[in-house]
Amino acid sequence: MALLNVENLSAGYEQVTVLREVSLKVEAGEAVAILGPNGAGKSTLLRCISGLVAPTSGSIVFDGHDLTKVEAHAIPHLRLIQVPEARHIFAGLSVTENLLVGGTPLASRSERMERLEEIWRYFPALRQKSGAAAGTLSGGQQQMVAIGRALMAKPRMVMLDEPSLGLAPLVVRELYGTLRTLVDEGLTLLVVEQDVSMALKIVDRALVLETGVFVLSGSASELRHNDHVKQVYLGI
């Protein structure tokens, strides 16, 4: 069984249907991207998986757990973490304090401190800023804090919503390089992204969501050479 299995999922807001019977599987250790234009339903899909939006029909199963029956606050304890768009870090807390908040599901302080050392390895720039208020950091560093905070809980799977938004290209490349390292070390990654070119460089598979339905899917290589993707998303 796939680590994440979404079947025939429909969802929306009030009378507006955003997702229309979409299905998605993510295997353990995979990096998968959801691509598509604004308003396609990408963020709604992540919010359904995270328990923040109740689907109108369909099923969501993660690691054998029916997520439609799990409260949103309990889903991170299943080792499924979402990093939302716009990061939502605690601006007044230090970098270290932000990261330790993410380690709350771990059993002891010693385990949290051990995990903190691992996060410094992934994001060495953050160690140098460990005592600084997170709100004073650059946008790229704040995104590192948000991802590092998610990683503190030792998740099996992380979902990222537009991680490159508002970041300089050089920062995006560095960030995605770290994400690929994490996947190579066993993390499962589901990323929603408008920077199609960058996403296709680090994921294994991708799906294209348009007006609430998946219109394309395949390996990253297949989608890079797909005429629709090249014309609409890559400008080729």
Domains in the chain, CATH or no CATH each: 1-79+157-236 (3.40.50.300), 87-155 (no CATH)
How high is the pLDDT of residue 1? 78
Residue 44: the pLDDT is: 94
- The span from the CA of 201 to the CA of 75, in Å, is 29
Report the DSSP beta bridge partners of residue 208: 35, 216
Q: Residue 142 above 80 pLDDT?
A: yes
* The pLDDT of residue 236: 66
For residue 8, the model assigns a pLDDT of 97
Q: Which string of b and e fits 166-195 if b means at least 16 CB within 10 Å?
A: ebeeebbebbbebbbebbeeebbbbbbbbb
Total H helices, total E strands in the chain: 9, 10
Give the SS3 label for residue 68.
Answer: helix
Integer-rounded Cα radius of gyration of the chain? 17
Average pLDDT estimate for 71-85: 92
pLDDT at residue 114 above 70?
Answer: yes
Q: How confident is the model at residue 181 (pLDDT cuts 50, 70, 90)?
A: very high
**Cα pseudo-dihedral 33, 35, 41, 43, rounded to 10:** 50
Residue 39: per-residue pLDDT? 87
The 10s digit of each residue's pLDDT in 19-50 is 999 999 999 999 999 999 888 999 999 999 99
Residue 226 to residue 136: CA distance in whole angstroms: 42
**pLDDT value of position 207:** 96
